[in-house]
Amino acid sequence: MSAPAGSRPADRDLWVFDDAPILGGSEIFALRLGRFAQRRGSPSVRIVCPAESEMARRCRDYGIEHLSASFPELGPRGAARWPGAVLAIRALLRRIGPHSIAIGNTARAQGYLTAAAPLTREGPRIVHLMHEQETLRRRSGRFALRRVGALVAVGGNIAAACSRALPGIEIREANLFLDPNEMAEPLARDRDGEEPVIGVLTRLIPEKGILELLDQLASTGGWSRAEIAGSRQDEAYAGRVEARIAAPDLSDRISLLDHVSDLRSFFGSIDVLISPPTGTEGQGMGVVEALWHDRPALVRRGAFSARDFEGLPVWPYDSADELGSGLGRVAGAVVPADEVRRRFGPAQALDAILAAGGMPS
């Protein structure tokens, strides 16, 4: 539902600004935060995103209050629309007032908040949520993040990248999270002497490393079969994955699924999650979901954050030999449920944002 025109928001609101090009990890983070805040009762979370986006539709479905806003692309094609969009964001920041927090949840939204906030008297505190590292590699991104707002990095990998790119800037950390109120008890699995069943939650795009994983699995023992679940965002790449699965050294051992929504059943059918991305990654929502469902995980070393998962059954790998060694540890893995819920529950994420914005938790 959209906020009534001209209404004045209550103090201590969190306003999440997101251009929502897809319903990706950052958008899901914000929606989960909004649902948790609904149950908690304070602060309220409101989402500012394009009206036609999937994020706006989810807001309507979940009863999260949202406002429509335009975030024209920051390249030359969007230049003619920049001034109007900045002025609209400025007007909204004035309306929000000084006692709330405006959260930049994507790089483009952060750019518009950075442009509009200096033009706003008595506007809200700006907090940038950093979900990815690409912004930190751009000079314009580093300039904007230094100029306006506090930073909250999601996961140790992103926090370390922020510290390297922005020395001297205070970086607060939050973890990805699930809400125990929305989680059913994990399903137990009777392995019956079978070697581990592998699960992969991904998107079928090159940087997710599925082809590399398939090559490694073909030369690695210690597993019985694998289920790879992921939306086909790059059809050409998905075709290459299908062809590799059909090769004689892998055929009949791997199932390629589409996106799965019933994660409880998915994790109930596997013994270990493998996260194989070859690009720069954040914390890895799939790994957090595996732990919440009482399953260990193996993560390609380049995407692994040892600090985030210290003391938990999450292990790095690079080579096929390391992958095989990790699979050998699955049978004895114990997932400490209380620690997972403390470290990857919603309260820690909300507390980090409130602290960055100068609000008591």
Per-residue pLDDT at 76 = 84
**Residues of each domain in the chain carrying CATH 3.40.50.2000:** 14-177+345-356, 182-337
Class level of CATH domain 14-177+345-356? alpha beta
Percent of the chain with pLDDT over 90: 78
Using the predicted structure, report yes or no on whether residue 46 has a pLDDT greater than 50. yes
Mean pLDDT across the stretch 135-147? Answer: 90
User: Roughly how many angstroms between the first and final C-alpha of the chain, as a whole number?
Assistant: 26
Least confident of 33-37, 171-175, 188-192, 298-302: 188-192
pLDDT single digits (tens) 2-19: 444 344 444 579 999 999
Length of the chain: 361
Q: Which has more pLDDT, 134 or 30?
A: 30
Q: Amino acid identity, residue 41?
A: G
Q: How far apart are CA 177 and CA 180, in angstroms?
A: 9
Mean pLDDT across the stretch 204-212? Answer: 95
What share of residues in the chain are helix, strand, coil (percent, to 5)?
A: 45, 15, 40
CATH topology for 182-337 is Rossmann fold (3.40.50)
Per-residue pLDDT at 9 = 46
Least confident of 19-23, 93-97, 113-117, 281-285: 281-285
- pTM for the predicted model, two decimal places: 0.88
